[in-house]
Amino acid sequence: MKCLVKAKAEKGLWLEERAVPEIAPDEVLIKIERTAICGTDMHIYRWDEWAQKNVPIGLIVGHEYGGTVAKIGSTVRRVKVGQRVTGEGHVVGTRSRNARAGKFHLDPDTKGIGVNLPGAFAEYLALPEFNVIPLKDDFPLEIAAIMDPLGNAVHTALAFDLVGEDVLITGAGPIGIMAAAVAEKAGARRVVLTDVNDWRLDFARKVAPRTRMVNTLNEQLKTVMSEIGMNEGFDVGLEMSGAEPAFNQMLDTMLMGGSIAMLGIPSKPFPVDFGKIVGKALTVKGIYGRQMYETWYKMLALLDSGLDMSPMITDRFAAKDYQKAFDLMETGKTGKVILDWTQI
Please tell me the distance from the alpha carbon of residue 57 to that of residue 76, in angstroms, as a whole number: 31
**Active-site residues: which are they?**
40, 43
For residue 45, whether the previous peptide bond is cis, meaning omega lies within 30 degrees of 0, is: no
* Geometric angle at alpha carbon 325, from 206 and 29, rounded to 5°: 100
Pair 37, 326: CB distance under 8 Å: yes
Please give the C-alpha separations between residue 209 and each of 215, 226, 305, 322, in angstroms, as whole numbers.
16, 20, 18, 31
AA letter at 329: M
List, in sequence order, every residue forming a beta bridge with 126; answer none if it has no partner.
Answer: 29
Q: What is the CA radius of gyration of the chain?
A: 20
Q: What are phi and psi of 215, to 5 degrees?
A: -85, 110
Beta bridge partners of 36: 64, 338
Q: CA-CA distance, 325 to 121, in Å (whole number)?
A: 13
Judge contact between 118 and 140, C-beta under 8 A: no
Question: Residue 135: which residues within 8 A CB-CB, separation 6 or more?
Answer: 66, 83, 84, 85, 86, 144
| Separation of alpha carbons 337 and 343, rounded Å | 15
> Nearest Cα to 161, choosing from 259, 300, 247?
259
